[in-house]
Structure 1
Amino acid sequence: MSKQFGWWFFTCGNQVLVIPQGERIPYGDIEDLPLPELDFTQVERFASYKGEACLRLELSEAIDLGMGEWIDLRSSMSVLTGPLFNLVGKAQQFALFLKTHRFCGSCGEALERVDWELAMQCGHCGFRAYPRISPSIIVLISDGRKVLLANHRRHQKQEQPIYTAIAGFVEAGETLEQTVHREVHEETGIRVKNVSYWRSQPWAFPHSIMAAYFAEYDTGEVNIDRRELADAQWFDYSNLPHLPPTGTIARDMINHWLGQKTNE
């Protein structure tokens, strides 16, 4: 076996192996890592970090590798740096793509791996598939000292319900800005103005790219879509509820807005 050196991303479904030391992702030559017998023919270089290769290996079960613990992808956000968390997400998305694209969506024949890029191709009809990326928006709406934050249904049963920005997926034929206006009105009943793009974040749950926007309240009363939200309220910047965890673009947006308010 030829030597393989770099950062090792061992994944199993939505879990990743982290170690107690360093940057928490195994690093080094494969022959020097205390690993059991694994099928290293499936190892794939998928990115680089700090000038070294990022190597991924998807396992069928989360076995004890003798050097760390398996944690789920969301939990890894709190123990990894932002760049490494994004790389874990990338490795997981690649594994998911290969698992869910074994057959052609056009003719049903088996797909084959393209060897010069991450794609699967049908030798029968020529159809080629690439990893799915679902564009979405997230928007933080303010009105002077207040910000509109929502408790999504998936968060409502938590001991401390999380309140966060409004978000949603882009529909076919929409611009990102049109999605902002539509999602805000559908989920909260209000209209916004002065929509401005901020930045984006890859979000591997399971294959999104989130474009973040700031917007200002324009008209309307809050009337939530209860299929999506459990609650939505205006909060003064001096009295905010339980917020999303550090590392999420939602928390970064709220912190950015808070910094502006406190400096006024």
Structure 2
Amino acid sequence: MFEAHMRTPDGRIGEAYWFYVRRGEILVVVGDEGPRIPSSVESMLENPVTHVMGHLDDKWVFGVDVPLDLEGAPEGHEWTPLRQLYGKVPELHWTLAGRAEQLVNWGRTHQFCGRCAAATEPSPGERARLCPACGLLSYPRLSPATITIVTRGGAEEEVLLAHGRQFPGRFYSALAGFVEPGESLEECVVREIKEEVGIDVVDVQYFGSQPWPFPHSLMIGFRARYAGGDLVLQEEEIVDAGWYRADDLPPCPRGGMSIAGWLIEAWLKEQAAKA
């Protein structure tokens, strides 16, 4: 079990989990049984910027900032892009790698105050950077976004999926968008769906959430029911959208690494149970 904290080691660390982050890549040990997270300090860096992340199974967990211009890897190691690491290490390790990626990038981009440009320093007792000149506190950046599947019908239920312009090739998924200031999550769901495909929804129900480190999102999943309207696409965002039965889905995620796949997979299981 992972325990998140910021306690400072007061003695010998021993074996630990070291998540070295470079350019969206994680350093892994190469082995016959697949890659794994390094468990000891590598000698490639002197006085690296290190973020205490917590404990996993009684071992310390650290995120380490590796300079962007550092080339090569220690013998027996290699750099692996975070997305490509999924499925190659335990899922919790992949999630922690994403956490390390976000903490390292936050540290890189908040070395100076955004208000007065003075150098910042760690804020005692919390995950924040403090400006000693003007007192501004800067916390790790987190961008909440909702992601929703909309359904309609009864026994022959259909799900609404869309092909967003950000997806290469023909690939469909749930509808998603960032929460705006002063907006509730449920309001975001209703607004985003109306903006992107022109329909109204009701019965907005929470499904689950997922930290998504590409680059610093918190995805909050929902289910909703179709209430009315015709599909009118926001063309700068959506290439195509349509209603699909469980036996006629377009290319889309099912399970896997993202909450979009989890939403679709859960709906498919519901439809299978009806059969």
Deviations 1:23-52 (A, max 9, x none): 83324343xxxx443225533321222332
Q: CA deviation at 1:240?
A: 1.0
TM-score by length of 1: 0.90
Deviations 1:119-170 (A, max 9, x none): 1111111111110111110001111321111111011x33xx2210000000
Q: Which moved more, 1:12-21 or 1:182-191?
A: 12-21
Structure 2, unaligned stretches of length 5 or more? Answer: 1-10
User: Match of 1:43, SS?
Assistant: strand
Counterpart Cα distance in 2 of 1:98 and 1:129: 10
Q: CA deviation at 1:236?
A: 1.1
Alignment CA distance shift 1:37-1:17 (3 Å): closer
Equivalent residue, structure 1, for 2:51 = 44
Amino acid at match of 2:233: I
Equivalent residue, structure 1, for 2:265 = 255
Please point out which of 41, 53, 63 is paired with 2:60: 53
Deviations 1:158-195 (A, max 9, x none): 3xx22100000000010000000000000000111111
Indicate if the aligned counterparts of 1:13 and 1:92 stay in contact, CA closer than 8 A. no
Amino acid at match of 1:25: R
Equivalent residue, structure 2, for 1:198 = 207
Counterpart Cα distance in 1 of 2:14 and 2:190: 49
User: Match of 1:263, SS?
Assistant: helix
Please point out which of 120, 127, 143 is paired with 1:118: 127
Counterpart Cα distance in 2 of 1:108 and 1:128: 13
Alignment partner of 1:170 is 2:179 = yes
Indicate if the aligned counterparts of 1:167 and 1:183 stay in contact, CA closer than 8 A. yes
Counterpart Cα distance in 2 of 1:23 and 1:90: 21
Please point out which of 228, 235, 243 is paired with 1:234: 243
User: Match of 1:214, SS?
Assistant: strand
Indicate if the aligned counterparts of 1:8 and 1:25 stay in contact, CA closer than 8 A. no
Amino acid at match of 2:105: L
User: Match of 1:192, SS?
Assistant: strand
Alignment map for 1:213-232 (pairs within 5 Å): 213-232=222-241
Alignment map for 1:67-106 (pairs within 5 Å): 67-106=76-115
Please point out which of 181, 194, 198 is paired with 1:185: 194
Counterpart Cα distance in 1 of 2:108 and 2:135: 20
Counterpart Cα distance in 2 of 1:208 and 1:55: 21
Counterpart Cα distance in 1 of 2:29 and 2:59: 18
Indicate if the aligned counterparts of 1:9 and 1:56 stay in contact, CA closer than 8 A. yes
Counterpart Cα distance in 2 of 1:24 and 1:54: 17
Alignment CA distance shift 1:29-1:107 (3 Å): closer
Equivalent residue, structure 1, for 2:21 = 11
Alignment partner of 1:24 is 2:35 = yes
Please point out which of 147, 162, 166 is paired with 1:150: 162
- RMSD over aligned CA atoms reads 2.0
Indicate if the aligned counterparts of 2:28 and 2:37 stay in contact, CA closer than 8 A. yes
